[in-house]
Amino acid sequence: MSAVLIDGKARAAALRRDVAAGVEAFVAAHGRAPGLTVVLVGDDPASAVYVGSKGKATREAGMISGEYRLPAATPEAELLALIAALNADPAVDGILVQMPLPRHIDSDRVIAAIDPAKDVDGLHPVNTGLLVSGRKGLVPCTPSGCLMLIEEAIGTIAGAEALVIGRSILVGKPMAALLLNRSATVTVAHSRTRDLAAHVARADIVVAAVGIPGMVKGEWIKPGACVIDVGINRVALPDGKTRLVGDVDFDGAVKRAGRITPVPGGVGPMTIACLLANTLKAATART
């Protein structure tokens, strides 16, 4: 048996087309395009690449892309003042502060300063509370994309045994809430979980988001399970080159799973697509 690969690139492309069509309708109705502003503090190379990709995708969807690149030494008070200004700007529908922030800045304070209605990362405590209580709000992009891939791959989730490996506010915790809201039976595991293999072996759905290369062994996977690998880890090869791998031992898992996301090309493309969808959603809700 060999698993069917879940094509995140194709699903993300379809979502981006839907968003672009929605933006056209929004412009026709309101005479302006939705606006997404991204704030980057510091010069982390990976973060700079992500910010550039987000800006390009925003413009391709027909939305207005704003960008602030601040020095790493920017005082926290200055960043909070910028966020306050963006909260008050009617042309800005979505605000995203790129993480991680420099150590002298309190990330929780920054996230809490963003208007929940413009929090397209879905991390504000208000949006977290709405998600946990099963009410409508802005949902973190990566788990939202994972849910779309799962539902498209297997249909109904109700009653399924779902295992989320990882407990971050970015992926693990919101992913568990999303699955629970779809009536799955959800277990949350992490790097300190005892007998992780036994938990994996019971799961109809496995979402791995722990950041440890190959932590989930292929032989643990329940035959026919749906495996969503959120991990993106760069590992060194014997010849001195590097390659990207996930948190799941893909070569082993593909022989047992029913559906599985590759790394790269699985979950990654969905994150930016869902960011665009959140921005359109935020703009529509504010009109």
**Residues with active-site annotation:** 54, 98, 121
Q: What are phi and psi of 267, to 5 degrees?
A: -75, -40
Which amino acid makes up residue 143? P
Tokens 């929780």 appear where? 108
The shares of helix, strand and coil residues in the chain, as percent rounded to the nearest 5, are 45, 20, 40
Q: What is the rounded distance in angstroms from the CA atom of residue 216 to the CA atom of residue 282?
A: 36
Question: Cβ atoms within 10 A of the Cβ of 241, count?
Answer: 7
What contacts 45, CB < 8 A, 6 or more positions away?
Answer: none
Enclosing H/E stretch for 110: helix 107-113
Q: Is 213 left (phi over 0), alpha (psi -120 to 50) or beta?
A: beta
Q: Tell me the C-alpha to C-alpha distance, in Å, between residue 177 and each of 10, 192, 203.
A: 26, 21, 16
User: Are the beta carbons of 248 and 231 closer than 8 angstroms?
Assistant: yes
Which amino acid makes up residue 139? V
